[in-house]
Amino acid sequence: MWLLRRLWRHIVVFLIGVVTVWLIVFVVFQVTDNTLPWILAVAVTYGLAAYVILPRVIRMSLKVLHRQHVPEYTTTGDGLPGDPVNIALVGTLPQLRAAFTAIGWTEADRLNLASSWRMVRAFALNKPYPSAPFSTLFLFGRGQDIGFQMAIDNSPRKRHHVRFWGISQTAVQETLGTPGFWLNTDRPADGEQALWVGAATRDTGFSLTWLTFQITHRTAADTNSERDLILSELRSKQLVGEVTSYNERGELPSKRVNRYIFDGDVGVATLSS
């Protein structure tokens, strides 16, 4: 019965994909091609497909495929797969900030018009921007609470970075190991002891997203090494205690998400006072 439900979900997603291709090629492009010069028709079709049609189609498909699954990755604003969840630190927000400052990482600026424009200029001119903002990814029903980064070769195009979402210790104790843990939307109060669930990746340059072809940073496929790098640096400064691995998602069928390859483990450690 389980296999039949899974097969049916894949058939539904396949049919959605067929309809989407038909819509883009035989409806959107034909309409634009009949009313605009060819080059503009291609540009408009790309814009509608990459930023309007495909994100919504993929969000719908993910809901079909991942129904009743505990998520193992963040999502974008359009509901697309984001970065894998691979690290969690226990402590207060001031402790978290102090720990990353001690290992030479910089807190990311909030994403707004000014910081976005500064990031675009830095990216285009390859000028340093140590506190460049992150795009917003979602977990626990909200965007990241805080993020840290360390530039590679002083470049805005290459960096180690990690986003964190806080969840109160009470919620952890009551729901850890259940789908309800991932559905908690309550952000812990400043100064409260919390579990900071993170997604660590490494930017390596410029790319297009493989699902919708939107412009973005290119990221390294290996997220295990980013998790291990952060935990190793924190341990070398004695900023965390013993590191353990947590994997409640071992029965999920795949360890490949949004072209990332990872072992599914979340490295967990407690921040030192």
Residue of 78 and 223 predicted with greater confidence: 223
What are the b/e assignments for 139-164, b being 16+ CB within 10 Å?
bbeebbbbbbbbbeeebbbbbbbbbb
Q: Which residue has the higher pLDDT, 62 or 25?
A: 25
Q: Which residue has the higher pLDDT, 216 or 254?
A: 216
DSSP lists the bridge partners of residue 202 as: 160
Contact by Cβ (8 Å): 108, 131: yes
DSSP character for 112?
A: S
Residue 208: per-residue pLDDT: 56
Q: Which of 1-5, 18-22, 186-190, 249-253 has the highest mean pLDDT?
A: 18-22
Q: pLDDT grade, residue 227 (50/70/90)?
A: very high
* Stretch among 13-17, 23-27, 141-145, 255-259 having the lowest mean pLDDT: 255-259
Query: What average pLDDT is seen over the chain?
Result: 80
Terminal CA-CA length for the chain: 51
Task: Please give the share of the chain, as a percent, with pLDDT higher than 70.
Answer: 79
Instruction: Give the domain ranges of the chain.
Output: 2-65, 73-270
Pick 101 or 256 by higher pLDDT: 101
| Residues 87-99, mean pLDDT to the nearest whole number | 94
pLDDT at 215: 54
The reported pLDDT for the residue numbered 218 is 67
Residue-level pLDDT at 89: 94
The pLDDT of 230-249, averaged and rounded, is 86
CA angle 161, 61, 111 (to 5 degrees): 30
Average pLDDT over residues 210-236: 79
Distance CA 20, CA 16 (A): 6
Select the more confidently predicted residue: 211 or 198.
Answer: 198
> Does the pLDDT of residue 38 top 60, yes or no?
yes
pLDDT given at position 69: 47
* 226 vs 64: which has the higher pLDDT: 226
- The answer, yes or no, to whether residue 10 has pLDDT greater than 50, is yes
Q: Between 51 and 158, name the one with better pLDDT.
A: 158
Beta strands in 85-232 (DSSP E): 87-91, 106-107, 138-139, 142-143, 146-152, 155-168, 194-208, 215-219
N residues, the chain:
273
Band of residue 78 on the pLDDT scale cut at 50, 70, 90: low
Q: Which helix (H) or strand (E) holds 244?
A: strand 244-246
Asked if the model's pLDDT at residue 98 lies above 90, the reply is: yes
